[in-house]
Chain A
Amino acid sequence: MQRRDFLALGGLGMGGLALPAWLGKAIAAEQLVSTLDVSIKKQLADAALQAARSAGASYCDVRIGRYLRQFVMTREDKVQNVVNTESTGVGVRVIADGAWGFAATNGLSNDSVAEAARRATAIAKANAKVQAAPVQLAPAPGFGEVSWKTPIRRNAMEVPIKDKVDLLLSANAAATNAGASFVNSTLFQVNEQKYFASTDGSYIDQDVHRIWAPMTVTAIDKATGKFRTREGLSAPMGLGYEYLDGDASQKFVTPNGVVNYGQSYDLLEDAVAAAKQAQEKLKAPTVKPGKYDLVLDPSHTWLTIHENVGHPLELDRVLGYEANYAGTSFATLDKRESGFRYGNEIVNLFADKTQPGSLGAVGYDDEGVKCKRWDLVKDGILVDYQTIRDQAHIVGKTESDGCCYADSWSSVQFQRMANVSLAPGKQKLSPADMIKDVENGIYIIGDGSFSIDQQRYNAQFGGQLFYEIKDGKITQMLEDVAYQLRTPEFWAACSAICDESDYRLGGSFFDGKGQPGQVSAVSHGSSTARFNGINVINTARSLG
Chain B
Amino acid sequence: MSIFTEAEAKAILDKVVALSKADECTATLSGSNSGNIRFALNDVSTSGIVDNVELAVSVAFGKRVGTATINEFDDAALERVVRRAEDLARLAPENPEFMPAIDKQTYAPTSTYNAATAAITPEYRAQVAADSIAPCRPAGLVAAGFLEDSRSFTAIANSKGNFGYQTSTGADYTCTVRTDDGRGSGWVGRNVTDVAQLDAGRDVAIAIRKARDSAEAKALEPGKYTVVLEPHAAAGLISFMMYFFDARQADEGRSFLSKKGGGNKLGEQVYDPRVNIWADPADPDAPVLPWDDEGMARKRMPVIENGKIANMLYSRYWAQQQGREAVATPGNLIMSGGTKSTADLVRETERGILVTRTWYIRMVDPQTVLLTGLTRDGTFYIENGQIKHPVKNFRFNESPVIMLNNIDELGKPVRVSGDESRFAMMIPPMRLRDFTFTSLSDAV
Mark A residues whose CB is within 8 Å of B: 1, 3-4, 7-8, 11, 14-19, 21, 25-29, 78-80, 82-84, 100, 102, 106, 123, 127, 130-132, 161, 165, 181-182, 218, 220, 222-227, 229, 319-325, 327-328, 330, 332, 410, 412, 449-458, 460, 462, 480, 482, 484, 486, 515-516, 535, 537, 539-543
- Chain A interface mostly helix, strand, loop or mixed? loop
CB <8 Å contact, A539 and B365? yes
Quick one: which of B40, B67, B87, B363 contacts A449, CB cutoff 8 A?
A: B363
Min Cβ gap B215→A in Å is 15
CB <8 Å contact, A451 and B372? yes
CB <8 Å contact, A460 and B440? no
CB <8 Å contact, A324 and B176? yes
Quick one: which of A17, A29, A80 contacts B26, CB cutoff 8 A?
A: A17
Most buried by B among A181, A410, A457, A458: A458
CB <8 Å contact, A486 and B442? yes
CB <8 Å contact, B93 and A165? yes
CB <8 Å contact, B252 and A453? no
Given known A132-B43, A182-B252, contact A26–B67 (CB-CB < 8 A): yes
Minimal Cβ-Cβ distance residue in B for A486: B442
CB <8 Å contact, A19 and B47? no
CB <8 Å contact, A19 and B261? no
A-B contact pairs, 8 of them (CB 8 A): A102-B48, A222-B260, A323-B176, A453-B393, A455-B442, A458-B441, A460-B372, A540-B365
Stretch binding the partner chain, chosen from B109-117, B141-149, B276-284:
B141-149
Given known A220-B253, A412-B48, contact A457–B91 (CB-CB < 8 A): no
Min Cβ gap B90→A in Å is 11
Min Cβ gap B328→A in Å is 12
Q: Is B293 an interface residue (CB 8 A)?
A: yes
**A225 CA to B43 CA, complexed, in Å:** 54
Stretch binding the partner chain, chosen from B190-198, B224-232, B354-362:
B354-362
Minimal Cβ-Cβ distance residue in A for B377: A454
The interface residues of chain B lying within 8 Å CB-to-CB of A515 are 36, 38, 146, 148
CB <8 Å contact, B46 and A412? yes
Minimal Cβ-Cβ distance residue in A for B96: A78
**A106 CA to B146 CA, complexed, in Å:** 26
CB <8 Å contact, A454 and B368? no
CB <8 Å contact, B367 and A226? yes
The interface residues of chain B lying within 8 Å CB-to-CB of A8 are 422
**A223 CA to B148 CA, complexed, in Å:** 50
Given known A222-B262, A330-B443, contact A516–B148 (CB-CB < 8 A): yes
The interface residues of chain A lying within 8 Å CB-to-CB of B422 are 8
Known interface pairs A325-B174, A457-B443; 16 further A-B residue pairs with C-beta atoms within 8 A, sorted by A's residue number: A4-B420, A16-B67, A18-B293, A21-B52, A227-B254, A322-B40, A324-B40, A324-B146, A451-B372, A451-B395, A453-B374, A454-B360, A515-B148, A516-B36, A516-B148, A537-B397
Q: Is B370 an interface residue (CB 8 A)?
A: yes
Q: Is B50 an interface residue (CB 8 A)?
A: yes
Stretch binding the partner chain, chosen from B8-16, B68-76, B297-305, B336-344:
B68-76
CB <8 Å contact, B293 and A17? yes
The interface residues of chain B lying within 8 Å CB-to-CB of A541 are 365, 368, 370, 399, 402
Q: Is B259 an interface residue (CB 8 A)?
A: yes
Q: Is B434 an interface residue (CB 8 A)?
A: no
The interface residues of chain B lying within 8 Å CB-to-CB of A4 are 420
CB contacts under 8 Å to A, within B374-418, are 374, 376, 393, 395, 397, 399, 401-402
Given known A16-B58, A17-B28, A410-B50, contact A225–B260 (CB-CB < 8 A): yes
The interface residues of chain B lying within 8 Å CB-to-CB of A451 are 360-362, 372-374, 395
Minimal Cβ-Cβ distance residue in B for A289: B438
The interface residues of chain B lying within 8 Å CB-to-CB of A28 are 68, 84, 87-88, 91
CB <8 Å contact, B44 and A131? yes
Mark B residues whose CB is within 8 Å of A: 26, 28, 36, 38, 40-41, 43-48, 50, 52, 54, 56, 58, 65, 67-71, 84, 87-88, 91-93, 95-97, 126, 142, 144-146, 148, 174-176, 178, 182, 243, 252-254, 256, 258-262, 270, 293-294, 315, 359-368, 370, 372-374, 376, 393, 395, 397, 399, 401-402, 420, 422, 438-444
CB <8 Å contact, A452 and B360? yes
**A332 CA to B138 CA, complexed, in Å:** 23
Minimal Cβ-Cβ distance residue in A for B262: A222
CB <8 Å contact, A325 and B58? no
CB <8 Å contact, B256 and A543? yes
The interface residues of chain A lying within 8 Å CB-to-CB of B270 are 543
CB <8 Å contact, A227 and B441? no
Min Cβ gap B145→A in Å is 5
Min Cβ gap A109→B in Å is 14
**A84 CA to B294 CA, complexed, in Å:** 20
**A319 CA to B174 CA, complexed, in Å:** 19
**A18 CA to B28 CA, complexed, in Å:** 9
CB <8 Å contact, A453 and B84? no
Quick one: which of B261, B364, B372, B444 contacts A225, CB cutoff 8 A?
A: B261
- Give me the 10 closest cross-chain CB pairs, A-B, nearest first: A458-B441, A455-B443, A225-B260, A453-B443, A323-B144, A324-B144, A25-B69, A220-B253, A541-B368, A515-B146
Minimal Cβ-Cβ distance residue in B for A450: B362
CB <8 Å contact, A457 and B65? no
**A516 CA to B52 CA, complexed, in Å:** 15
Quick one: which of B69, B258, B365, B395 contacts A460, CB cutoff 8 A?
A: B395
**A182 CA to B56 CA, complexed, in Å:** 31
Quick one: which of A15, A123, A132, A224 contacts B294, CB cutoff 8 A?
A: A15
Min Cβ gap B137→A in Å is 10
CB <8 Å contact, A225 and B401? no
Quick one: which of A165, A332, A458 contacts B374, CB cutoff 8 A?
A: A458
The interface residues of chain B lying within 8 Å CB-to-CB of A543 are 256, 270, 368, 399, 401-402
The interface residues of chain A lying within 8 Å CB-to-CB of B144 are 320-324
Min Cβ gap A35→B in Å is 20
Most buried by B among A323, A330, A450: A323
**A220 CA to B367 CA, complexed, in Å:** 11
CB <8 Å contact, A225 and B258? yes
Minimal Cβ-Cβ distance residue in B for A84: B88
CB <8 Å contact, B142 and A17? no
CB <8 Å contact, A537 and B438? yes
The interface residues of chain A lying within 8 Å CB-to-CB of B363 are 449
Given known A25-B54, A453-B393, contact A458–B28 (CB-CB < 8 A): no
